[in-house]
Amino acid sequence: MTGMDALRNDPAPLVVVTGGLGRVGSVLLPHLRQHYRLRLVDRAIPDRAVPAGDGVEARQADIGDPDAAYKAFEGADAILHLAANGSPWQSWDSVYAANVRTAQVVLEAAAAHGVPKLVLASSVHAMGEYNRPAYWPVSPRLDPRPCCPYGLGKVVMEVLAKSHADRTGASVTCVRLGLTGWGLGERRYLGQWLSDGDAGRLMLAALRAREPYGVHFGVSANTRNHWDITSARTELGYRPQDDSELLADAAGPSSGPVCRLFDDSEISK
C-alpha cells in the first residue's frame, strides 16, 4: 500500500496542522477531527484547553525552526500548513521571515519524512490585482498578480510548493483562501467570503485530493462570483453550500484601505 493509499484508507490517519490553534485552525478543528487524528502545532498554547476528545494533540513549537518542524512531523500522513502572519500591511522583510522562510522549513521537513500529502493555505491576495469587475470571476489559472507583500509571499510559497511536488512526488494542494474565520462586516468582502462550514468542506476535499499539484480559490458559493472556484469543485470535489448574499443586508460600508486588494472606489461603498 502506498502512502497516498494509506492516507485515504486508514481509519485514523494523522494530520499535522501548523498554526493549528489560530483563527483558521479553530474554524477547521470540528470538521477535521471527525476524520483524522490531529496534531495541532502552534508557537503558543492558549490557556483554554483544546476541546476534549480522543485523537487531538496540541504541541507548542516554532514551526519555523527546522529541528522543531522535523520533530512535529514525525509519523504524519498529511500536513495542513496554516501558520503565517496574515497582515496585508507588513513589510517584505516581515513576510519573508514569518511566511516564506517558514514555508520552506515546512516543505523541507515534510520531504525528510516523506509525507505524501500537503495542503498549504495561500490567499486571494496572491491574485489581488485582478479583484476588479473586468476580471470577475478571477480564474486561478491567470498569472499571479499580488496586491501587497503578503500576497507576494503567498506567490513565492506556491512556487516552492510546486517545486516540492515535482521533486518529491508528494501530492500538494494550495488553497487561496478568501475571508475566513471573520465576521462579514463589510459589503466589499461579500465576493470573497468563506463560511466556516464551507472552510471545513474545502479542506477535507483538499486533504483527500490525489492531484500531483494544484492551486485553487477557496470561497463559498457566493452570488457575487468574484473568484472562480470551478477547479476546486471539479478537481478537489469541493461542494460549497453557503452564499454571502444571505448576509448582504447586514454588511456595512468599507472601513478604509486594505492594500490594493480593493481599488480606491471600494472605500466608500
Contact predicate 146/126, CB 8 Å: yes
Q: Judge whether 130 counts as a catalytic residue.
A: no
User: Within 10 Å of residue 269's Cβ, how many Cβ atoms?
Assistant: 11
Angle at 96 between CA 94 and CA 102, to 5 degrees: 110
Per-residue CA distances from 239 to 25, 92, 118, 206, 247 (Å): 20, 35, 20, 11, 20
- Report the alpha-carbon distance of residue 50 to residue 64 in Å, rounded: 22
Residue type, 7: L
- Report the alpha-carbon distance of residue 33 to residue 56 in Å, rounded: 7
Exactly one of 150, 189, 213, 238 is catalytic; which is it? 150
Q: Which residues pair with 118 in a beta bridge?
A: 79, 172
Residues 6+ apart with CB under 8 A from 150: 85, 86, 87, 88, 90, 95, 99, 123, 125, 259
- Report the alpha-carbon distance of residue 79 to residue 7 in Å, rounded: 11
- Report the alpha-carbon distance of residue 88 to residue 196 in Å, rounded: 22
> Would you please indicate which residues are annotated as catalytic (active-site) residues?
150
